[in-house]
Homo-oligomer: A and B are copies of this chain.
């Protein structure tokens, strides 16, 4: 991706638009799609390439700083316990920081069962006070004897780059309809003066960068979110609403999920059930963002398993207009958004951007 990083200067430059996409050879890539209602093969939303573009934008920003800016963005990561998957995620996040010119600080507590809440709270308080730290990330899940809620609540909301602090949640779920409320520009997440969770933010960012960077107009679209988790379903529904979509949230107790999905212009699947959403449930020409990452048996593969989404991809791509693959769709966007949140936080802390 080196050449990409060097070429792209900013999201909106003609140069960057020309190089925004880097589809892998197995993905069909149509540059000028037209919406049709007959059967077709969907355009694949190449999350890996879009995430690389965003990371390149951040790298570029950090490689040409104003001379009075001496600091670099810093992300502090807390890793409690010895889960292999958590270790992998943390390493990926640290590498991503280094790749784009950011600092990262890791605090590991490998004996997860022995660490106390107080120890973790003290470390977070230290980071809250530390000028070199602009983002704080607590890798979840925490061991059972630790209250996640208590730990996350301790993070300074301004450094809460995961967007999980109640102060940030409350702001995300406010429609600012009250007297004197400041109207926010939801078309530019980097202008939002609080932190938005990374995966949901990544979903919307994909919608804004498909179609050769022109994006699709979310306003007035029927958007259906499958799943109501705190981490994805709820915040992505809220982001779609802020962009003036009409939103429906369906879940395990919904009785008529197929007929509801058949009305959807945009489907976000975030339920964690392999291949649950069938092609016959989808409206021809719709857009599918598949957040699910499910491991299913694949005896003919080397690893014995493969990762699939919540949507039956092979069939769905014959019906919809745009679809994210799994892996390589939403997944890579999460880290890109984490980096961007940290850079935003640093820009605010160093006075480069309004609080």
Contact = CB atoms under 8 A, between A and B. Distances in A.
B246 A246 contact: no
A contacts with B: majority SS: loop
A100 B250 CA distance: 41
A62 interface: no
A114 interface: no
A117 interface: no
A183 interface: no
A248 B264 CA distance: 12
Contact of A241 (B141, B249, B256): B249
A237 to B, nearest CB: 8
**What interface size band does chain A fall in?**
35 or more
Interface string A290-329: 0000000000000000000000000000000000000000
Interface of A: 140-142, 144, 147-149, 166-167, 169-171, 173-181, 219-220, 222, 228-231, 233-234, 241, 244, 246-251, 253-256, 260
12 contacts: A148-B178, A148-B179, A149-B178, A169-B173, A170-B170, A173-B173, A174-B230, A174-B234, A175-B229, A176-B230, A220-B253, A248-B248
Given A148-B178, A222-B256, 8 more contacts: A142-B179, A148-B179, A166-B167, A177-B228, A220-B253, A241-B249, A244-B251, A246-B255
